């Protein structure tokens, strides 16, 4: 090959291997008119996996009348007044809902609503629905109590809308014969033999009969899944496509069911203290008894950490001895009634759910040791009094369970639980027999994973919640899938807005629309 041709050939090869840009037009191939493909479009930036939907203004069909004075007086009486400097405007209304969506012939019922805002807030401010726990209140006024404690940022972003749980507040359930209800509350935890349990079974049967006579088929509507249906009705009535919700305790159980069933309706959601949705009885009651024992230990530690604990160096031993003494000699009350060991155990367990009541619990136990039951009576009234929620708690608990246990089965469990959970195990077992005569309803629906339409939800578990171990929150988050877990090493049912750490995480989600990118642990 002549040198010049060789150089030209080499140049052509080098040109074909060039990695630099070419200004030549596309080259046709074999005359078929095909061109080099255009470069692919730049991909869209990935969506922020931690972003939450923007709250929508309310377009509500609901009406509210001012009830600020009455609600504030009630909160003060309950020991939950607004924090210093906080002024609220409270409205009261009603939400019509089907008694049971599966039984349309039953018609509608009405649930109480409470709207809590700062004075002068626009009526279309985005709603934040609050669904409370039946064990601690369950009424719509929980929203007003929460509004008195949350940050200014939250109140400037939302109007808090509280909704009564079935059987609480304006929808109060009172169908049990008073003597039968009292027998269940007063049952001596030491009496777990088959004969004593058979007596409780008969009292429970009397309650079922009267409740069915009064309510007919509607008695089965007192359940967590009915509250989930009510949440969706509230969303439609508030006029938003995505609803922001805070659920506490078994209210969180209901919100979780709603979110799984209506993923496209989910806004900014906090589940504060849900139970393990995979448990049925008796595992559910055993988990609660274990949690209550842990909560009592936290209460005892808090008492001993003060300058002088009135319950002494060993509060557990003091309370155990007191309950044994009351079992043999109930405390008479001025009205001719009496406080039994069963009622006193219920008072202790109820107060453990609300650390703000711990000083009152200590005072009540100390006074009971001197023969004065007034403090225990005050703690019992919201549960077992004429306007108490005992019937709603009983109906909801029994409707949620598929299990129906016999006296021999319960007696065997009570013997074991008395050893494993000395303060609360036997009483927890006794409660199992109270559901035996209730018609089996098949339990509640299964919690479903969040669909792709739903944003992340926050799930908050409290280390010493007397209602459920923190494993309940962990299991709920696992089933839902796209959930961010916040673990609080504190006590009580409902952690928000208990500490700066918890409030910072939740407020960022509620007001800035950003969920934490990973699980969070908050100190007590």
49-63, pLDDT tens digit by residue? Answer: 999 999 999 999 899
Task: Provide, rounded to the nearest whole percent, the portion of the chain with pLDDT above 90.
Answer: 86
Tokens of 256: 């979780």
Residues 256 and 13: their CA atoms lie apart, in Å, by 67
Q: Which pLDDT value is given to residue 216? A: 83
Asked if residue 134 lies in contact with residue 168, where contact means CB atoms within 8 angstroms, the answer is yes
Burial code of 122-151, b = ≥16 C-beta within 10 A, e = fewer?
Answer: eeebbbbbbbbbbbbbbbbbbbbbbbbbbe
pLDDT above 90 (res 435): yes
- Looking up tokens 């150089």 gives 7
Q: Which residues contact 77 (CB under 8 A, 6 or more apart)?
A: none
Does residue 178 surpass a pLDDT of 90?
yes
State the Cα–Cα distance between residues 399 and 441, nearest whole angstrom: 6
Note the pLDDT tens digit of each residue in 402-416.
999 999 999 999 999
Residues 349 and 492: their CA atoms lie apart, in Å, by 11
Write down the domain spans for the chain: 65-171+221-279+444-522, 178-219+280-433
Half-sphere exposure of 39 (CA within 13 A, CB side): 3
Q: Is the pLDDT of residue 16 over 70?
A: no
What pLDDT was estimated at residue 8? 32
pLDDT given at position 3: 40
For residue 477, with 0-12 CB atoms within 10 Å meaning exposed, 13-18 middle and 19 or more buried, which class applies? buried
What pLDDT band is residue 78 in, cutting at 50, 70 and 90? confident
**Nearest CA among 345, 339, 366 for reference residue 296:** 345
CB 210 within 8 A of CB 175: yes
Each residue of 298-312: pLDDT tens digit? 999 999 998 899 999
**Cβ-based neighbours of 359, under 8 Å, separated by 6 or more:** none
* More confident position, 217 or 505: 505
pLDDT for the residue numbered 386: 83
Whether pLDDT at 11 is above 70: no
| pLDDT at position 24 over 70 | no
Mean pLDDT of the chain: 91
Question: Residue 379's closest CA among 350, 342, 354?
Answer: 350
More confident residue, 79 or 475: 475
User: Does the pLDDT value for residue 464 go beyond 50?
Assistant: yes
284-295: per-residue pLDDT in tens? 999 999 999 999
- Percent residues over pLDDT 70 in the chain: 91
pLDDT digits (tens, 9 = 90+) for 184-236: 999 999 999 999 999 999 999 999 999 999 998 899 999 999 999 999 999 99
CB 243 within 8 A of CB 266: yes
pLDDT of 173 > 80? The answer is yes
Q: Are 310 and 291 in contact (CB under 8 A)?
A: no
Predicted confidence (pLDDT) at residue 5 exceeds the cutoff of 60: no
Who contacts 500 (Cβ-Cβ below 8 Å, separation ≥6)?
Answer: none
Q: In whole angstroms, give the CA distance from residue 232 to residue 257.
A: 11
Q: What are the structure tokens assigned to 516, written together?
A: 């934490």
Over residues 87-91, mean pLDDT: 98
- Helix (DSSP H) and strand (DSSP E) numbers for the chain: 18, 12
Band (pLDDT 50/70/90 cuts) for residue 521 is very high
**pLDDT band (50, 70, 90) for residue 41:** low
Name the CATH superfamily, with its identifier, for domain 65-171+221-279+444-522.
Alpha/Beta hydrolase fold, catalytic domain (3.40.50.1820)
Residue 1: is its pLDDT beyond 90? no
Name which residue leads in pLDDT, 79 or 141.
141
Distance CA 303, CA 283 (A): 30
- Residue-wise pLDDT for 94-151, tens only, equals 999 999 998 899 999 999 999 999 999 999 999 999 999 999 999 999 999 999 999 9
Average pLDDT over residues 255-262: 97
pLDDT in tens, 219-232: 999 999 999 999 99
For every residue of 118-179, DSSP letters joined together read -TT--TTSPEEEEE--TTT--STTHHHHHHTTS-HHHHHH-EEEEEPPTBSGGGB---S-HH
């Amino acid at each position: 090959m002549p040198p010049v041709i060789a150089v030209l050939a080499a140049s052509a090869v080098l040109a074909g291997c060039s990695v630099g840009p070419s200004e030549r037009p596309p080259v046709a191939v074999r005359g078929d008119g095909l061109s080099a493909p255009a470069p692919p479009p730049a991909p869209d930036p990935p969506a922020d996996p931690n972003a939450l939907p923007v709250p929508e203004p309310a377009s509500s069909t609901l009406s509210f009348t001012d009830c600020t004075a009455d609600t504030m007086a009630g909160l003060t009486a309950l020991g939950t007044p607004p924090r210093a400097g906080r002024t609220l405007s409270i409205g009261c209304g009603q939400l019509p809902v089907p008694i049971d969506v599966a039984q349309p012939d039953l018609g509608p019922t009405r649930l109480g609503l409470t709207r809590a805002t700062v004075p002068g807030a626009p009526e279309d401010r985005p709603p934040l629905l609050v669904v409370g726990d039946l064990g601690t209140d369950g009424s719509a006024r929980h929203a007003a109590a929460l509004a008195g404690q949350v940050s200014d940022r939250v109140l400037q972003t939302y109007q808090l809308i509280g909704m009564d749980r079935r059987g609480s507040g304006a929808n109060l359930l009172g169908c049990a014969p008073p003597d039968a209800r009292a027998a269940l509350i007063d049952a001596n935890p030491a009496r777990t033999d088959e004969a004593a349990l058979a007596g409780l079974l008969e009292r429970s049967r009397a309650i079922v009969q009267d409740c069915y006579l009064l309510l007919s088929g509607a008695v089965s509507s007192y359940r967590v899944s009915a509250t989930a249906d009510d949440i969706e009705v509230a969303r439609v009535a508030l006029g938003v496509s995505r609803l922001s919700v805070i659920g506490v305790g078994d209210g969180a159980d209901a919100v979780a069911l709603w979110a799984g069933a209506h993923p496209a309706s989910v806004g900014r959601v906090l589940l504060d203290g849900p139970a393990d949705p995979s448990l049925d009885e008796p595992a559910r009651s055993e988990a609660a008894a274990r949690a209550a024992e842990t909560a009592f230990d936290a209460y005892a530690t808090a008492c001993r950490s003060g300058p002088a604990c009135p319950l002494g160096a060993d509060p557990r031993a003091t309370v155990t001895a007191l309950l044994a003494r009351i079992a043999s000699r109930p405390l008479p009350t001025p009205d001719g009634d009496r406080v039994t060991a069963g009622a006193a155990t219920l008072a202790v367990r109820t107060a453990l759910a609300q650390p703000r009541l711990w000083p009152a619990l200590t005072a009540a136990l100390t006074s009971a040791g001197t023969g004065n039951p007034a403090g225990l009576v005050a703690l019992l009234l919201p549960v077992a009094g004429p306007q108490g929620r005992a019937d709603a708690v009983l109906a909801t608990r029994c409707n949620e369970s598929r299990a129906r246990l016999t006296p021999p089965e319960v007696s065997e469990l009570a013997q074991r639980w008395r050893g494993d959970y000395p303060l609360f195990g036997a009483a927890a077992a006794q409660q199992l027999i109270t559901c035996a005569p209730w018609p089996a309803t098949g339990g509640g629906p299964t919690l479903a994973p969040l669909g792709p339409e739903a944003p992340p939800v926050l799930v908050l578990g409290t280390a010493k919640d007397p209602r459920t171990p923190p494993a309940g929150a962990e299991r709920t988050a696992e089933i839902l899938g796209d959930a961010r877990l916040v673990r609080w090493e504190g006590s009580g049912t409902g952690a928000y807005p208990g500490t700066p750490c918890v409030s910072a995480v939740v407020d960022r989600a509620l007001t800035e629309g950003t969920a934490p990118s990973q699980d969070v642990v908050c100190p007590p």
